[in-house]
């Protein structure tokens, strides 16, 4: 099931009819950074127009230390809380190590904000070029000083390296409607 918040903030669901992952996706033991940590899902009924949509940035501008990104997630902010769907956002900054298939982001405000457990798949927006575009998805998160939780490092899978796969998969999933 796909979960989303409607305009009235009530939790709503739509059944998923198809899921696809890039051929580079690998299931690996916990704690090992993966590549291709993304997927596309087709839902039974489209999400309502009033919840909004975002443009996808599939161009491949380089990510430099200090580049800022907006991360929006609805995961679990602290242990013991089982409620999701409350969106939080954070402006995070690119840091190293620089890997072609992984963005590592950190909070420089000193407030220990960032992605949380359960935020995997949340959008990472580049807001500096031609309006906000989704340029990645959250893959993993950790707390400050290598602890579990929120506000430490945030790992994201950039979309640009998977452009051909994304475009082809969207065409194939759309073709199921015809």
- Pick from 21-30, 91-100, 139-148: least confident: 21-30
Rounded to whole angstroms, how far apart are CA atoms 140 and 160? 18
For residue 7, pLDDT beyond 80: no
Q: Rounded mean pLDDT of 51-72?
A: 82
Q: What is the pLDDT of residue 127?
A: 81
pLDDT for 86 equals 65
- For 155: left if phi > 0, alpha if psi spans -120 to 50, otherwise beta; the answer is beta
Q: What is the pLDDT of residue 24?
A: 79
CA torsion through residues 48, 120, 43, 169, sign:
positive
The reported pLDDT for the residue numbered 28 is 63
User: Across residues 83-107, what is the average pLDDT?
Assistant: 80
Residue 53 has pLDDT above 80, yes or no: no
Of residues 24 and 92, more confidence is placed in: 92
pLDDT digits (tens, 9 = 90+) for 76-88: 666 555 555 567 7
Other C-beta atoms lying within 10 Å of the C-beta of residue 24: 14
Inter-residue contact 86 to 74 (CB < 8 Å): yes
Instruction: Read off the tokens for 28.
Output: 């690996």
Q: State residue 79's pLDDT score.
A: 59
Res 32: pLDDT:
54
Report how far residue 115's alpha carbon sits from residue 68's, in angstroms, rounded to the nearest whole number. 14
Q: Model's pTM, two decimal places?
A: 0.81
The pLDDT of residue 88 is 79
- Domain of 155? 2-175
Question: Which CATH number covers residue 30?
Answer: 2.40.10.10
* pLDDT-derived band at 68, boundaries 50, 70, 90: very high
| Residue 50 backbone dihedrals phi, psi, to 5 degrees | -75, -5
Q: Where does the pLDDT of residue 166 fall: very low under 50, low under 70, confident under 90, or very high at 90 and above?
A: very high
Domains contained in the chain, number: 1
Lowest mean pLDDT among 53-57, 62-66, 74-78: 74-78
Nearest to 74 by CA among 146, 2, 178: 2
The stretches of the chain forming alpha helices (DSSP H) are 163-175
Quote the mean pLDDT of the chain.
80
């Amino acid at each position: 099931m796909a979960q989303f918040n409607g305009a009235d903030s009530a939790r709503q669901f739509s059944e998923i009819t198809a899921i696809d992952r890039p051929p580079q996706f690998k299931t690996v033991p916990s704690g090992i950074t993966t590549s291709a940590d993304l997927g596309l899902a087709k839902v039974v009924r489209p999400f309502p127009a009033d919840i909004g949509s975002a443009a996808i940035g599939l161009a491949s501008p380089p990510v430099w230390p200090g580049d800022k990104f907006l991360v929006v997630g609805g995961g679990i902010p602290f242990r013991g809380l089982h409620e999701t769907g409350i969106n939080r956002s954070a402006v995070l900054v690119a840091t190293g190590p620089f890997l072609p298939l992984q963005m590592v982001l950190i909070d420089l405000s000193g407030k220990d904000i960032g992605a949380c457990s359960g935020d995997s798949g949340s959008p990472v927006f580049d807001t500096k070029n031609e309006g906000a575009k989704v340029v990645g998805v959250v893959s993993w998160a950790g707390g400050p000083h290598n602890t579990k939780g929120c506000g430490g490092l945030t790992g994201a899978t950039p979309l640009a390296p998977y452009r051909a796969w994304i475009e082809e998969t969207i065409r194939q999933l759309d073709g199921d409607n015809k």
